[in-house]
Amino acid sequence: MRPSSTPTGALAPPRLIPGRGQLPVLLSVPHAGRAYPDWLVRLARRGAASLAPLEDPLVDRLVWRAQALGIACVVADAPRAAIDCNRAEDELDPHAINLPPGAGHDGWRVRAGLGLIPARLAGAGDLWRRRIGPAELEARLDSAWRPYHRLLAEQLELLRRRHAEVLLLDCHSMPWRPGQAELVLGDRHGLSAAPFVAELARQTAEAAGYRTSRNDPYAGGQIVAAHGAPERGVHALQLELDRRCYLDPAGRAPGEGFDRSARLFEELARTLGGHFLDRNALPLAAE
């Protein structure tokens, strides 16, 4: 979490870990960024440590076994505190961005302080010393958010050239809450993926010993909403894993369940990818 020296507004670009494309699967890790620019740390009311709770800690490392299957992965190195790649461009919070009177978004995520630019955290209050202006917002969008979504679109298109149907697995982690499932499968209530995708993911995860739920409490954010188009053969599923499954009690380092959880992501990618390979091999029905 060491701050880096970059111009105001400029963020680390997203990183592509190439794959072989044999399995029709792409991985997305939008919230594990730890590259905190010095200007962002100065803007924070309580320094970089106050921004870290927005991370999905170490999810970029957690997917290593799935990547080893030859699956490409797009990783956001810019921190979520600076810009959230899983929010829409118009999810603007006037508490974080200097907007004209009456402008902004009234969605529940913005009201909770978790818009495109996060504004506050429960129990921590406001994150920033001041609101940012339109030029700073554009710099963040241009350096991190737009390249992330562009990479996802490009990689999905490359897979579509080889496979009739493809799958985007958007990988996240979530804080523990009493009674909550260990893995939440989000498909926007069937809008971002065909129903069999979440069902097969559920069966796979529960066979591995994980308690699951579908779309509760997380139905999927902007990434699966923007890139999932099952009617065109592009399915997108958001995965939210309880952090207690893979982190130590402090929540910042690998815990004893880390490798088990890495194997879960591997098995989900392998099983779902193999199912899509089988579907892709089926002859087309006569019209």
For residue 7, is it within any domain? Answer: no
Contact 187, 272 (CB under 8 A): no
Distance CA 70, CA 285 (A): 30
Q: Mean pLDDT in each 10-residue stretch from start to end of the chain (287 residues)?
A: 61 97 98 96 94 97 98 98 98 95 90 97 91 96 98 98 97 95 98 98 98 98 98 98 97 97 98 94 51
Looking at the DSSP assignment, which residues form a beta bridge with residue 234?
Answer: 166, 229
Domain enclosing residue 70, as ranges: 15-281
- CATH number of 118's domain: 3.40.630.40
Distance CA 133, CA 98 (A): 5
Q: How many CB atoms lie within 10 A of CB 74?
A: 26
Six token digits for residue 111: 């009201």
The pLDDT, as a whole number, for residue 145 is 98
Give the ranges where the chain is alpha helix by DSSP (H): 38-43, 59-62, 64-67, 108-111, 134-140, 146-160, 195-207, 222-227, 258-281
For residue 1, is it within any domain? Answer: no
The count of residues in the chain is 287
The pLDDT, as a whole number, for residue 281 is 83
For residue 3, is it within any domain? Answer: no
Looking at the DSSP assignment, which residues form a beta bridge with residue 172?
Answer: 240
> DSSP of 238-265, one letter per residue?
EEEEEGGGTB-TTSSSB-TTHHHHHHHH
For residue 6, is it within any domain? Answer: no
For residue 286, is it within any domain? Answer: no
For residue 154, is it within any domain? Answer: yes
For residue 66, is it within any domain? Answer: yes
Count of structural domains within the chain: 1
For residue 150, is it within any domain? Answer: yes
The pLDDT, as a whole number, for residue 103 is 86
Contact 134, 100 (CB under 8 A): no
Distance CA 97, CA 134 (A): 8
Tell me the pTM: 0.94
